[in-house]
């Protein structure tokens, strides 16, 4: 059973499509039944979206601001293990500024708020791996129904980092509504659904970190090898696993997980956005040609671009 309580009716008030503005956000209350336990899972997504409003900005955007008019492509963001839906706001908010609606569900039991004694266990990892794509599907069902007149139902993307990067690849295999996928520092690629050698056929970008000591950069290479559609691999040089989150300082542990010799957080974010935003624009909007940005390697990355595989 699903329930969706809209916390701000104002979101449905149309804005002015051509007006410049900022980023709005709201929190939804959404639950679904766990596929493993039969118990309720509180997904409670955060939603970011373009707005013509300017006043009242917070670190997450302008809360409950009216959404800009028109229909927007939708992107689902899946957080990492022991993470949060708000762990990469530099990315989710940049997408909203670019005209996307971004929805980030919580994966219960696998968040920082659950604590390491729960989210870091093998039992929870297995449980989460079985529930994550259903979490994404329930989130899509609810958001597409609630915001139908604001969304382009045929332009849906999937993204995430770490365990969320793995979730992104699984969703690319299993959820036909997803038209493009962007997976960052994914792990567990050997656990993807086994089929043909190249069984992910939608346009997909993988962003990996050269100095990833959590899952290792070869996992990104392995993910890229599974792709059969338009595909891109971006290696962030001198980056680590946490370079793609907002802050490598763990405020829950009061501990810095930054690596002083690695690329700065700001530079890593700049490189992620340099490729991620044009990629999603190319495959989720009306763009017809692959922009030069996706074919040109800049300082700080190694780029492998194959927009027309097999040709």
Separation of alpha carbons 84 and 113, rounded Å: 8
In the predicted structure, residue 293 carries a pLDDT above the cut 90: yes
Strand arrangement, sheet containing 46-51:
57-58, 61-63, 22-27, 46-51, 101-104, 72-78, 151-161, 178-184, 204-209, 231-236, 301-306
Q: What is the pLDDT of residue 311?
A: 60
Q: What is the pLDDT of residue 120?
A: 86
Is 274 inside a domain boundary?
yes
Would you tell me how many other CB atoms lie within 10 Å of the CB of residue 6? 13
Is 311 inside a domain boundary?
no
In the predicted structure, residue 39 carries a pLDDT above the cut 80: yes
Confidence at 250, pLDDT banded by 50, 70, 90: confident
What SS3 class is residue 8? coil
Q: What is the pLDDT of residue 15?
A: 29
Q: What is the pTM of this model?
A: 0.90
Number of domains composing the chain? 1
Among 178, 32, 10, which Cα is nearest to 105's? 32
Supply the mean pLDDT for the chain: 89
Is 294 inside a domain boundary?
yes
Query: Which CATH number belongs to the domain containing residue 205 in this structure?
Result: 3.40.50.1820
Is 153 inside a domain boundary?
yes
Q: What is the pLDDT of residue 289?
A: 87
Give pLDDT tens digits for 120-133: 899 999 999 999 99
Residues 238-256, mean pLDDT to the nearest whole number: 85
In the predicted structure, residue 23 carries a pLDDT above the cut 80: yes
In the predicted structure, residue 17 carries a pLDDT above the cut 70: no
Is 249 inside a domain boundary?
yes
Is 16 inside a domain boundary?
no
Among 200, 141, 196, which Cα is nearest to 172's? 200
Is 107 inside a domain boundary?
yes
Is 258 inside a domain boundary?
yes
Q: What is the 3-state secondary structure (H, E, C) of 73-135?
A: EEEEEECCCCECCCCCHHHHHHHHHCCCEEEECCCCCCEHHHCHHHHCCHHHHHHHHHHHHHH
Domain span at 299: 3-11+21-306
In the predicted structure, residue 10 carries a pLDDT above the cut 80: no
Separation of alpha carbons 126 and 36, rounded Å: 10
Instruction: Name residue, tokens 């800009």.
Output: 68
In the predicted structure, residue 134 carries a pLDDT above the cut 70: yes
Among 200, 226, 246, 235, which Cα is nearest to 85's? 246
**123-132, 173-182, 249-258, 281-290 — which is least confidently predicted?**
249-258
- Beta-carbon contacts of residue 73 (< 8 Å; ≥ 6 apart): 99, 100, 101, 151, 152, 155, 156, 157, 280, 284, 285
Give pLDDT tens digits for 64-117: 999 999 999 999 999 999 999 999 999 999 999 999 999 999 999 999 999 888
Q: What is the pLDDT of residue 249?
A: 77
């Amino acid at each position: 059973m699903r329930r969706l309580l809209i916390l701000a009716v104002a979101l449905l008030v149309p804005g002015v499509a051509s007006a410049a503005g900022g980023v709005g956000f709201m929190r939804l209350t959404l639950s679904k039944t766990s596929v493993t336990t039969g118990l309720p899972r509180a997904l409670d997504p955060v939603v970011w979206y373009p707005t013509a409003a300017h006043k009242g900005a917070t670190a997450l955007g302008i809360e409950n601001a009216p959404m800009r008019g028109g229909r927007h492509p939708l992107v689902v963001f899946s957080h990492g293990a022991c993470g949060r839906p708000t762990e990469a706001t530099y990315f989710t908010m940049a997408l909203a500024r670019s005209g996307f609606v971004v929805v980030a569900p919580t994966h219960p039991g696998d968040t920082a708020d659950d604590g390491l004694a729960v989210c870091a266990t093998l039992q929870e990892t297995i449980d989460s791996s079985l529930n994550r794509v259903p979490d994404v599907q329930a989130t899509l069902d609810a958001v597409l129904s609630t915001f139908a007149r604001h969304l382009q139902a045929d332009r849906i993307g999937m993204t995430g980092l770490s365990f969320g990067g793995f979730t992104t690849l699984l969703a690319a295999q299993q959820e036909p509504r997803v038209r493009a996928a962007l997976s960052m520092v994914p792990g567990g690629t050997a656990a993807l659904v086994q089929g043909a050698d190249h069984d992910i056929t939608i346009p997909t970008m993988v962003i990996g970190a050269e100095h990833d000591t959590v899952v290792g950069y070869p996992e990104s290479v392995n993910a890229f090898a599974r792709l059969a559609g338009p595909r891109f691999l971006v290696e962030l040089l001198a980056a680590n696993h946490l370079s793609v989150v907002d802050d490598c300082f763990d405020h829950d542990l009061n501990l810095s997980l930054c690596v002083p010799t690695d690329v700065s957080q700001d530079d890593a974010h700049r490189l992620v956005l340099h490729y991620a935003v044009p990629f999603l624009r190319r495959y989720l909007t009306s763009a017809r040609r692959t922009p030069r940005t996706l074919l040109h390697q800049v300082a700080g990355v190694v780029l492998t671009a194959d927009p027309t595989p097999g040709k």
